[in-house]
Amino acid sequence: MDQDRRSFLGHAGKLLVLTASAAVAWEHVLEGRPEEAPNYRVSDHWWGMAIDIDKCIGCGTCVRACKKENDVPLEPFTFRTWVERYVVDPEDIDHPQVDSVNGGYQGFYDRELLDPRLKMFYVPKLCNQCAHSPCVQVCPVGATFESPDGVVLVDTSYCLGCRYCVQACPYGCRFIDPRTSTVDKCSLCYHRITRGLTTACCETCPTGARVLADLKDPKDPIHAFLREHRVQVLKPQMATGSKTYYNGLDGSVR
Amino acid sequence: MPGVEGFIYPNEFELQWGILIVLYPFITGLVAGAFILASLERVFNVEAVKPTYRLALLTALAFLLVAPLPLQLHLGHPERSFEMYLTPHTQSAMAMFGFVYLWYLMAVLVLEIWLDYRRDIVLRWRASKGISKVVYGAMALWSGNIGPSALELDDRVGRALTVIGIPSAFLLHGYVGFIFGSVKANPWWSTPLMPIVFLFSAIVSGIACILLLYFATCWARRVTVDMRCVDTIAKYLYYAFLVDFTLETLDLVHRLYESDESFHALDFMVKTRLFTSQIVLQILVGTLVPIGLLALTQLFTLRDKARRVIYVLAGGLTLVGIFAMRWNVVIGGQLFSKSFLGYTTYKMQFATREGLLPAVGLLILPFVVLWVLVRLLPPWGEGESAAGGDVAG
């Protein structure tokens, strides 16, 4: 009888430990899943963005909308998206003059291009939602991950705040949120796009310079856009599988 | 913006990794170097360095115990760091740190020290009273078997462990180099030479550290310095330094000759913001001068006192140079923008979590740990000091 009781307690103990472990594991599995939204199947989508440099007027509306929509701190070094102004001498593209005061939050209204030899344009920047993300590769605990529908996301409840991903991103798209001491970045407004909406930056862009793209949707205008324009991604030599496509990207842009 | 020149991405204004991350490769380098020096005696039977064998092992342990602390202090959420063990992301170079660290600490270093000291621990257990008896009893795992066959087994296992330990020490520090060398976004870091440069600089710093510690302990214990021992260590330091300097020069020449897209940004940085720490401290004061000093001792027959002065000077400058090298890698790699269009400045704080004060504390801490370890497990033999007499008693 003693033996039976001991064996029962042993089995019960093991079961308890296994159940608890499974519960914890399942919780993490669920955390890694994109949010459950009605009528949304992750396998039907492959998200990216198309940006038309010629259409961007540097108004900064996208930067303001993003900060508001995603509760990004107003500090001048924390941006999920920002806009850079390039002034380039076409004969010296290695030395462009670039500025991005407060990430373009207030818009660029302080400069007129008086020298006819120069060209000026604006480059909106955001996470490139890379298919082979260096940031995802280096995260020691997998707190940052690529969702099955192609968006690089961060589980802030799991992030250590080691900043390795910030170092690994070639585009400067990640920052540490000073309120949580965890990393933050553009989520492509995942909470919106999984509900059939577009991102805050695309929604508010007055010229349609930035457009959300679903590369798996055959009806998405992205296919015509990519076919009809000479598009480029940032730093193609990094081979990150960037899904942010720029039309009219100048060779001087870094 | 203050401290910024040209254009940088918004997230580059503040450096992500500060002085604590400079300490991390510096400290692990000392561990690996000290262990490799200790291995010389054990595996390659270099009798001359025997007086430093145990000191080197204890130093490696003291620094290894402190090595994770700068990382912990740096993390935004140190309480989550254990997740690296529970759910490591296997593609991440950093995720493997915990495993490499634990392997090296527990499977190699602690076990090797324990086997080497087991006889001493048992003798002290027998001779001591009160709390010391409990401490030494626990350290002996309450097993008092120090018969000849048991000690011979200890020795055999210890030797095998050292053989495993050498590649482990290479792994530990080569891996630290890989953490930096594999970041393709950063041209200052991204080179396959990084692990090997880190490894040789680790060997150099470890040997220099043990050389200085040996002088310091001889001075503190008022015993004569074994010149044969320090001459041999200095010779190893000299040759290891030559290899290290050759590798670093190769890296430099390669960058100069290739002159890729990042070259002008890096060249400008080295000539301005990194000039003092890279050109002056690392290359001139911390490399060429100690190599020159050590070369003097190899080329000419100098008196004992002159050699002692040169060794202490060369050892001290070597540590300055290797620290500067770590600084230039970690801090230098963040002073230029990944746009290659601008530069920022490292604004080191003082009494904050990642400031200078905790960094200094973390540099002193290994010596405190070493002091405790030396008190607990004196590294010198029985005939060498009065403390040794206690062991026999």
For β-strands A244-247 and A47-52, DSSP reports them as: parallel
Nearest CA in chain B to A145: B89
Rounded to a whole number, what is the distance in Å from the CA of B351 to chain A's nearest CA? 18
SS (H, E, C) chain B: CCCCEECCCHHHCCCCCCHHHHHHHHHHHHHHHHHHHHHHHHHHCCHHHHHHHHHHHHHHHHHHHHCHHHHHHHCCCHHHCCHHHHCCCCCCCHHHHHHHHHHHHHHHHHHHHHHHHHHHHHHHHHHCCHHHHHHHHHHCCCCCCCCHHHHHHHHHHHHHHHHHHHHHHHHHHHHHHHHHHCCCCCCCCCCCCHHHHHHHHHHHHHHHHHHHHHHHHHHHHCCCCCHHHHHHHHHHHHHHHHHHHHHHHHHHHHHHHHCCCCHHHHHHHHHCCCHHHHHHHHHHHHHHHHHHHHHHHHHCCCCHHHHHHHHHHHHHHHHHHHHHHHHHHHCHHHHECCCCCEECCCCCCCCCCCCHHHHHHHHHHHHHHHHHHHHHCCCCCCCCCHHHHHHHC
Contact assignment for B87 to A141 by CB distance below 8 Å:
yes
Encoded amino acid at B245, one letter: F
Assess A175–B contact: CB distance below 8 Å, yes or no.
yes
CA angle (B28 as vertex; B26, B32 as ends), nearest 5: 115
The answer to whether the complex's ipTM is over 0.90 is: yes
Nearest CA in chain A to B181: A168
Contacts of B186 in chain A (CB under 8 A): 167
Q: Work out whether the CA dihedral A68, A70, A76, A80 comes out positive or negative.
A: negative
- pLDDT at residue A19, rounded to an integer: 66
Can you list the residues of chain A whose pLDDT is less than 70? Answer: 1-3, 17-38
A residues 200-239 closer than 8 Å to B (CB) = 238
Assess B16–A contact: CB distance below 8 Å, yes or no.
yes
How far apart CA B229 and CA B221 sit, in angstroms, is 17
Assess A103–B contact: CB distance below 8 Å, yes or no.
yes
| Neighbour count for residue A14 (Cβ, 10 Å) | 10
Nearest CA in chain B to A185: B11
Instruction: Tell me which residue in A98, A182, A238 faces B77 most closely, judged by beta carbons.
Output: A182
Contacts of A176 in chain B (CB under 8 A): 16, 76
- pLDDT at residue B169, rounded to an integer: 85
Assess A161–B contact: CB distance below 8 Å, yes or no.
yes
Token pair for B367: 């010596």
Token pair for B208: 């220099």
Contact assignment for B92 to A137 by CB distance below 8 Å:
yes
Element (H, E) at B321: helix B304-330
Task: Please give the model's pTM, rounded to 2 decimal places.
Answer: 0.91
- The total of structural domains in chain B comes to 1
Instruction: Tell me which residue in B10, B17, B183 faces A77 most closely, judged by beta carbons.
Output: B10
A residues 28-47 closer than 8 Å to B (CB) = 28
> CATH number, domain at B48?
1.20.1630.10
Assess B99–A contact: CB distance below 8 Å, yes or no.
no
How far apart CA B343 and CA B262 sit, in angstroms, is 13
Rounded to a whole number, what is the distance in Å from the CA of A11 to chain B's nearest CA? 24
Mutation for testing the A interface, residue in B77, B84, B87 having most A CBs under 10 Å: B77
Question: Distance between alpha carbon B154 and the CA centroid of its chain, in Å?
Answer: 27
What CATH architecture does domain A42-132+185-247 belong to? Answer: 2-Layer Sandwich (3.30)
- pLDDT at residue B201, rounded to an integer: 97
Contact assignment for B84 to A160 by CB distance below 8 Å:
yes
Contact assignment for A182 to B76 by CB distance below 8 Å:
yes
pLDDT tens, position by position, for chain B (393 residues)? 788 999 999 999 999 999 999 999 999 999 999 999 998 888 888 999 999 999 999 999 999 999 999 999 999 999 999 999 999 999 999 998 889 888 988 888 999 999 999 999 999 999 999 999 999 999 999 999 999 999 999 999 999 999 998 898 888 888 899 999 999 999 999 999 999 999 999 999 999 999 999 999 999 999 999 999 999 999 999 999 999 999 999 999 999 999 999 999 999 999 999 999 999 999 999 999 999 999 999 999 999 999 999 999 999 999 999 999 999 999 999 999 999 999 999 999 999 999 999 999 999 999 999 999 999 999 987 545 433 333 332
